[in-house]
């Protein structure tokens, strides 16, 4: 199906408006697989000719004609349909006239003129949708400024000969109004599990923050509606103004708040399996939530995820004696609405976690396994503005206490304390949070650790990101994500690249020649590795670069507390960059140089998402990015490009997704034929593990990659 001679409007945009369509190809290659063929129908094509002309006129081309339809036989059972179009000249917006606004205050009249002219800009092409929306926009400009009873009538006059359009807005503003009394409906609905005794109207009035007698404003009503929804106790909120005709003498507008409450208490039980190149994890999930804890609409939630890691079982390794490594994740959350002011929510989320630190893909049999007892206490405030902007300001105190799951614990491995305030912002213009098809998302995280806040690390960490979603066609979306990250540290990792380059020598020297200087150098390396692991950047895995295992895109080095501490001098020296064993054995490289985190990050993800059939969808993607050991070092020569395909199946908890990514070898580090050559030139680059001897990675998760 082809639409020819389009110059201003896109052929794909026109194709979405007609019934005749090309047969959809599965994975963009195969017709008749997963999708039904599109059947040619001559009568449908004739009606489509009229649809094309109607669409053009709605976009300002009143002289447009669908002049010809050609049907070409291209196979025994296939035809190609071509529609030729004469667009003709566009109709341009000219004058906008207003009636009935002379008696309005100057700032209100100016707002009406500005909104109308923004909706139908002078010199722009006529657009039917924009014209229809302009009437509502002008009315909202009035109702936002207390004119609740305003009536607006918009008319358009098109001079087809001159190809211009003039507009007139007739306004009857009515009296300036104020808010009247506020009443609630739905709090005691049958079977809701929620009664007036459980939620006091005083709390709801505080959240709404609309005072009777204040100037009427639909913008305030919209903000109040969003604030009530964000309490999390209502599935639907509608604030309905009473606007009788004629207006009452006092010009007061009563409001009725219609509420559909959800159940206040909830228990969640479940389980899951995590399987990747690093570990196999079995876990349970249990949670309890009360959305009106002790009254006042406090949201109290406890979640507990106990599990066990079946070490060393992995997706490509099913041999060896199994060592069960117990782990647990406990989170308690309390959210209090109306802190500081009516629409700001305070929160505290204490966490107690116990987990193994697994970063090695092919660990040797005698490798120790280090675990951490983590205590993390974030607290702060958050507020949503205009439905789209979320701002969260908080402080986190975090303690990481190491212990040994298997083997002994290195003496140089110490408990670290991280202390930092954090600013998180997001601006969300997506059409759907779970399955976006169009829109844009902006986010940023800023942290400042140490200094007056104390702790083991002093640094500044920032990571902004942008996501965009562009509809290509019906059921087809181009999604992109870009992110950069910068970590500026002053108390650790001052020459991180040099530390990692010499990490093998530092580790072995402390064993072969345990002088005070060598031991101190090793202790500094261990301390820096430990802090960077929790503060630095990593990439790779199901949410970033899907051709790599989790954390694999990062600077690599020898990690003393994850390499055998009792190894002989010969084993340790085999991890030096000049050792022949290391140069000849990828397995030795993987077990010696492990991801440790870096200071500068950049990521770029691109994918095309296609609806296949029902809840099944597919993805074709290419991801790339890098993490540098240096500060302020965006290395565009380190692409780490991986491309692949994925599939997702929608479930009540989100799409279950599987992605298979292949690392394109010449485009890992530019100038090197493959990732092994890049690693031989600089072991800090790391050598990603292979799955079934191939440079691929399999990622399985819930939810979209971004």
Decide if 467 contacts 544 (C-beta within 8 A).
no
Question: What are residue 396's phi and psi, to 5 degrees?
Answer: -125, 130
Q: Which of 37, 54, 61, 204 is nearest to 126 (CA)?
A: 61
Decide if 444 contacts 462 (C-beta within 8 A).
yes
Question: What are residue 426's phi and psi, to 5 degrees?
Answer: -150, 145
Dist CA 626 CA 634 (whole Å): 8
Decide if 339 contacts 297 (C-beta within 8 A).
no
Decide if 457 contacts 496 (C-beta within 8 A).
no
Decide if 139 contacts 112 (C-beta within 8 A).
no
pLDDT in tens, 486-538: 999 999 998 999 999 888 888 777 777 888 888 888 888 989 999 999 999 99
Which DSSP symbol is given to 90?
P
Which DSSP symbol is given to 448?
E
- Give the per-residue pLDDT at 571: 40
Dist CA 375 CA 579 (whole Å): 41
DSSP 3-state of 503: helix
- Give the per-residue pLDDT at 189: 45
Q: Which of 352, 344, 232 is nearest to 299 (CA)?
A: 232
Dist CA 222 CA 225 (whole Å): 5
What DSSP letter does each residue of 593-624 carry, written as one string? EEE--BSEEEEEEEEEEEEEETTEEEEEEEEE
DSSP 3-state of 445: strand
Q: Which of 273, 409, 394, 360 is nearest to 594 (CA)?
A: 360
Decide if 658 contacts 624 (C-beta within 8 A).
no
Residues of the chain with pLDDT under 50: 189-197, 564-573, 581
- Give the per-residue pLDDT at 52: 87
Give Cβ neighbours of residue 520 (< 8 Å, ≥ 6 apart).
Answer: none
DSSP 3-state of 339: coil
| SS3 assignment for 267-288 | EEEEEEEEECCCCEEEEEEEEE
Decide if 591 contacts 362 (C-beta within 8 A).
yes
Cα 24 to Cα 11, 27, 611, 651: the distances in Å are: 16, 9, 11, 24
Beta bridge partners of 460: 448, 488
What is the token pair recorded at 430? 């997506």
| Largest distance between two CA atoms of the chain | 96
What is the token pair recorded at 706? 């971004």
Dist CA 612 CA 659 (whole Å): 16
- Give the per-residue pLDDT at 438: 93
Beta bridge partners of 539: 553
Decide if 194 contacts 266 (C-beta within 8 A).
no
pTM for this structure?
0.78
Q: How many residues does the chain have?
A: 706
Dist CA 564 CA 410 (whole Å): 10
Q: Give the helix/strand (H/E) hosting 166.
A: strand 164-172
- Give the per-residue pLDDT at 225: 92
User: What is the number of other CB atoms lying within 10 angstroms of the CB of residue 187?
Assistant: 19
Q: CB-based burial of residue 323 (10 Å sphere; 0-12 exposed, 13-18 middle, 19+ buried)?
A: middle
- Give the per-residue pLDDT at 578: 53
- Residue 312: asked if its preceding bond is cis (omega within 30°), the reply is yes
- Give the per-residue pLDDT at 563: 57
- Give the per-residue pLDDT at 194: 44
Q: How many CA atoms lie within 13 A of 182 on its CB side?
A: 22
What is the token pair recorded at 305? 């995820």
């Amino acid at each position: 199906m082809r639409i020819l001679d389009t110059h201003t409007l896109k052929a794909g945009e026109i194709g979405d408006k007609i019934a005749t369509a090309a047969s959809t190809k599965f994975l963009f290659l195969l017709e008749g697989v997963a999708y039904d063929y599109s059947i040619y129908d001559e009568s449908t094509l004739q009606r489509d000719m009229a649809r094309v002309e109607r669409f053009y006129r709605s976009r300002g081309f009143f002289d447009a004609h669908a002049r010809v339809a050609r049907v070409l036989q291209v196979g025994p059972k296939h035809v190609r349909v071509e529609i030729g179009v004469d667009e003709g000249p566009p109709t341009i917006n000219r004058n906008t006239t207003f009636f009935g606004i002379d008696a309005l205050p100057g700032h209100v009249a100016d707002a009406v003129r500005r909104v109308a002219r923004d909706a139908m800009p002078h010199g722009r092409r006529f657009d039917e949708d924009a014209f229809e929306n302009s009437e509502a926009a002008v009315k909202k400009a009035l109702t936002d400024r207390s004119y609740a009873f305003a009536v607006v009538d918009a008319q358009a006059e098109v001079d087809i000969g001159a190809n211009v359009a003039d507009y007139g807005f007739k306004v009857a503003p009515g009296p300036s109004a104020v808010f009247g009394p506020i009443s609630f409906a739905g709090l005691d609905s049958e079977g809701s599990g929620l009664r007036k005794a459980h939620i006091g109207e005083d709390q709801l009035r505080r959240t709404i923050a609309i005072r009777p007698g204040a100037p009427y404003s639909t913008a305030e009503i919209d903000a109040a509606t969003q604030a009530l929804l964000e309490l999390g106790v209502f599935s639907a909120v509608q604030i309905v103004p009473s606007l009788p005709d004629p207006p009452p003498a006092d010009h007061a507008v009563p409001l009725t708040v219609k509420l559909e409450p959800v159940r206040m208490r909830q228990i969640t039980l479940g389980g899951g399996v995590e399987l990747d190149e690093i570990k196999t994890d079995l876990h349970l999930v249990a949670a309890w939530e009360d959305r009106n804890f002790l009254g006042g609409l406090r949201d109290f939630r406890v979640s507990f995820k106990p599990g066990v890691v079946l070490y060393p079982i992995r997706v490509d390794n099913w041999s060896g004696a199994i060592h069960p490594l117990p782990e647990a994740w406990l989170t308690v959350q309390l959210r209090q609405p109306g802190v500081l002011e009516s629409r700001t929510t305070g929160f505290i989320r204490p966490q107690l976690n116990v987990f193994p630190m697994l970063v090695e893909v092919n660990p040797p049999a005698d490798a120790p396994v280090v675990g951490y007892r983590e205590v993390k206490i974030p607290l702060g405030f958050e507020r949503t503005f205009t439905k789209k902007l979320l701002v969260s300001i908080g402080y986190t105190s975090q303690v990481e206490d190491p212990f040994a799951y298997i083997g002994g614990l290195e003496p140089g491995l110490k408990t670290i304390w991280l202390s930092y305030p954090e600013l998180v912002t997001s601006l969300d213009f997506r059409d759907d949070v779970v399955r976006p098809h169009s829109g844009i998302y902006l986010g940023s995280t800023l942290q400042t650790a140490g200094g007056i806040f104390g702790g083991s690390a002093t640094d500044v960490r920032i990571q902004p990101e942008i996501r965009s979603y562009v509809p290509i066609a019906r059921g087809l979306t181009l999604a992109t994500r870009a992110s950069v990250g910068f970590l500026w540290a002053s108390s650790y990792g001052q020459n991180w690249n040099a530390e990692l380059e010499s990490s093998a020598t530092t580790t072995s020297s402390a064993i072969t020649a345990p002088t005070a200087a060598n031991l101190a150098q090793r202790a500094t390396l261990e301390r820096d590795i430990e802090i960077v692991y929790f503060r630095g950047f990593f990439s790779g895995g199901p949410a970033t670069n899907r051709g790599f295992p989790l954390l694999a895109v990062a600077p690599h080095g020898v990690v003393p507390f994850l390499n055998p501490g009792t190894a002989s001098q010969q084993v340790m020296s085999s991890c030096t960059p000049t050792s022949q064993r290391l140069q000849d054995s990828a397995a030795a490289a993987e077990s010696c140089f492990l991801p440790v985190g870096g200071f500068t990050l950049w990521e770029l993800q691109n994918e095309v998402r296609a609806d296949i059939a029902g809840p099944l969808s597919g993805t074709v993607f290419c991801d790339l990015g890098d993490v540098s050991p240096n500060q302020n070092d965006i290395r565009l020569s380190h692409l780490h490009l991986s491309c692949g395909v994925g599939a997702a199946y929608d479930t009540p908890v989100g799409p279950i997704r599987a992605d298979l990514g292949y690392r394109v070898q010449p485009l890992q580090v530019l100038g090197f034929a493959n990732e092994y050559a890049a690693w031989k030139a600089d072991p800090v680059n790391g050598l990603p593990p292979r799955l079934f001897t191939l440079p691929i990675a399999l990622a399985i998760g819930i939810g979209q990659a971004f």
